[in-house]
A and B are shown apart, each in its own frame.
Chain A
Amino acid sequence: MFGQLLIEGLAIGACYGLLGIAVAVIYKTSGVINFAQGEMGMLTTFVVYHFLTIYHFPFWAAFIAALIFAVTLGALIQVLFLRQAEDPTELGLLIITLGAELALMAIAGWKWGGDQKAIEFPLSIQSSYEPVKGFFINEWTIGVLLFVPLIMLALFLFFKYSTTGKAMRATQQNKDAAKLMGINVERIFALVWIISSVIGAIAAMFFAARSVVEPSFMMESFIRAFAGAVLGGLFSIPGVVLGGLMLGLIENFFGFYWPEWKPIVAFVVIVVILTIRPSGLFARHYVKKV
């Protein structure tokens, strides 16, 4: 039983970590917390649903279409909403993302209705293998646990070795200096949002495979993912994933022993940890300029 909880906790935690990566990528580069991350993924998942059920595409085609949609959505939101704000405060950007969240949820509800729908994903949680005695594992878990490290590796290589990745790191460190060095900062931001949107969309699809799809299905997961990201420290991608994993484990274990208090445990843990280490577990301490 313990091993079962462990594996499932890790899998869900990896999902949280994936969504957290999407949030952290944007936060690292532009200092904005994208509260609309969950909803962007949700909308993309609805697009998959639409292609699957209305146009009857095979899953892989719908998936590709959804990724294209995610790219457009990320770029659109950055260009239309965030770029326009002149000299924005942190709270102002937060409000913009909150507004985008409300708007996206409303669009999804308007277009597809608020009732719950189910999507057939190839990596279903229904299939079950038993590689080791007592351990049940399903395709979904395998998929998640393979995919997330892959993404982390890809991102790591991208940020470290590619020119665009270096440009992103430069923008994160000092936006104005990056501009002076000839980096097109606006395009970098758009790219960051695109990457984030795609990762978030994939995370949302993983979540959707476990439950029903409705306009608000990502809200709870997003809060948990964000909490996990904050736990691990928003500035480092491994930190974010580790935070998500920890949160998934804690949630799963507590969920087994105390099912009623499961949602609260996560937050209590986070508040406690934040009180002790205000910038998360794995980040450098948050230094503030006076």
Chain B
Amino acid sequence: MKHMKRRYYEDIELFSSGWSIFWTILLLAFLFTLPLYITPYYFLTLNLILVYIIAALGLNLLVGYTGQISLGHAGFFAIGAYGTTFLMSYFGIPFFIAILLAGLIAAFLGFIIGLPALRLEGPYLAIATLGFGLAIMHVIGRVEIFGGRIGMHTPPLDIGIPQLNLSYIIKSDIGMYFLILIVTIFMVIFIRNLTKTKVGRAFIAIRDDDIAAEVMGVNLAIYKTLAFAISAFCAAIAGAFYGFILGFFDPFTFNLIFSIILLAIIVVGGLGSILGSVMGACLVVYLQYSLLSNVGDLPYVGTFLIWISKKCFTVIGMQNISGLVLGLIMIGIIIFEPLGMYGIWIRIKNYWKTWPF
């Protein structure tokens, strides 16, 4: 049971009770031994889910905790993907350093977009971030070193240090799964701890009422730009992994729809909640990549949809059902459960709290 917190330590501790530690260890054990019970086929989707979780964590920090909005996060994704690939291919920089550098570049650009964001709100901020994301994409698309319109191939994922003859190349989905899983766990812990510190509380204060926060001494300039920078960093890390998963990308991969889907993930999952981002990412990625790419294969719904496609729609366009379902889910979540999937989870937990009475 959650007790009242009497000391600051209880507020910031990671595990509030022995049970939490137990379930966490169980979950981690399950995740790390996943390759034993699931065929390798599923790991592509799992990797994508993990990548989107990282990105969603970052965007959630910006939108859910700090109350800003960004429609341009696809641009930071792209910086992560292009940056890491470029640094590894052309300069031979080892993987971990390359990804950190790409993340820092993205963080710097996030800081830059955070500056005008200090004065903008709502739709104006949405447009500014939108334009920024698109501008990044256009600039990347123009520079020939980045492959122009053709795009880039990722180099072999070598997580060792080639210069010191300590190479270790990851070739399979499962190998990448372990790598991304470890990074994701670090990011979750990082973001979760961040929200419990002074920085996190400043973010929440800004979201709730930024003028009041400023009056109370929260330096808006520092914290708003910091929020943008950190969320850009997360997006870039996610983007780097995304690039390696795909193996190949071009400027058009990271378009506006990409940003919209990212925003959808955190809203559907639950704004301002880490568990929500995780759940949202799982649902949306599963919908987009697994369930709805093969709509016709669903047992009853599939045949019904194929029949209706032949009658009034085109069968070729049946892929688009994923977009339709995603859009409707987004709308449905806002209408029925504004707290997102996390809100649904909380309701379920609360319902069973007083069971069996």
* Partner-B contacts on A (CB < 8 A): 27, 33, 81, 84-86, 88-96, 98-107, 109-114, 215, 219, 223, 226-227, 230, 234, 260-261, 263-264, 266-268, 270-271, 274-275, 278-280, 286, 288, 290
- Say yes or no: A92 contacts B338, CB within 8 Å: yes
> Are the CB atoms of B317 and A96 closer together than 8 Å?
no
The answer, among B127, B316, B318, for a CB contact under 8 Å with A230, is B127
Q: A85-B335, A264-B139, A267-B132 are in contact. Are A106 and B327 (CB under 8 A)?
A: yes
Q: How far is the CB of B124 from chain A (nearest CB, A)?
A: 6
What would 22 A/B residue contacts be, using CB atoms closer than 8 Å?
A81-B335, A85-B338, A98-B263, A98-B264, A99-B327, A100-B331, A102-B257, A102-B323, A102-B330, A105-B323, A110-B314, A110-B318, A110-B320, A226-B127, A230-B127, A263-B134, A264-B135, A274-B120, A275-B116, A278-B120, A278-B124, A290-B212
Contact residue among B130, B135, B328, B334 (Cβ-Cβ distance under 8 Å from A95): B334
Q: Report the count of interface residues on B (CB-CB < 8 A).
A: 53
303-340 of chain B: CB within 8 A of chain A: 309, 312-314, 316-324, 326-331, 334-335, 338
Q: Is B256 an interface residue (CB 8 A)?
A: yes
Q: Chain A at the B interface: mostly helix, strand, loop or mixed? A: helix
- Kindly state the separation between the CA atoms of A154 and B131 in the bound complex, as whole angstroms: 32
B contact residues around A230 at 8 Å (CB) = 123-124, 127
A113–B314 contact, CB under 8 A?
Answer: yes
B335–A98 contact, CB under 8 A?
no
Does A111 contact B317, Cβ atoms closer than 8 Å?
yes
B138 at the A/B interface (Cβ < 8 Å)? yes
Residue of A nearest to B329 (CB): A99
The residues of B that contact A27 with a CB separation of less than 8 Å are 123
Residue of chain B at shortest CB distance from A102: B327
A267 touching B135 by the CB < 8 A rule?
yes
Over the window 61-88 of chain B, the binary record of Cβ atoms lying under 8 Å from chain A Cβ atoms (1 yes, 0 no) is 0010000010000000000000000000
Shortest CB distance B60–A (Å) = 12
When A111-B314, A290-B212 are in contact, do A100 and B126 touch as well, CB less than 8 Å?
Answer: no
Q: How far is the CA of A55 from the CA of B316 in the complex (A)?
A: 21
User: Do A94 and B124 touch (CB < 8 A)?
Assistant: no
Q: What is the bound-complex CA distance between A110 and B311, given in angstroms? A: 12
Chain A residue, CB-CB nearest to B336: A84
Mark B residues whose CB is within 8 Å of A: 63, 69, 115-116, 119-124, 126-128, 130-132, 134-135, 138-139, 142, 209, 211-212, 256-257, 260, 263-264, 267, 271, 309, 312-314, 316-324, 326-331, 334-335, 338
A93, A95, A266, A279 pick with most chain B CB within 10 angstroms: A95
| Chain B residues whose CB sits within 8 angstroms of the CB of A275 once the complex forms | 115-116, 119-120
Bound complex: CA A270 to CA B132 (Å): 10
A267 CB contacts on chain B under 8 angstroms: 130-132, 134-135
Question: Is the Cβ of B331 less than 8 Å from the Cβ of A81?
Answer: yes
Contacts of A288 in B (CB 8 A): 121, 211
The 5 closest A-B pairs by CB, nearest first: A103-B327, A267-B131, A99-B330, A106-B323, A102-B327
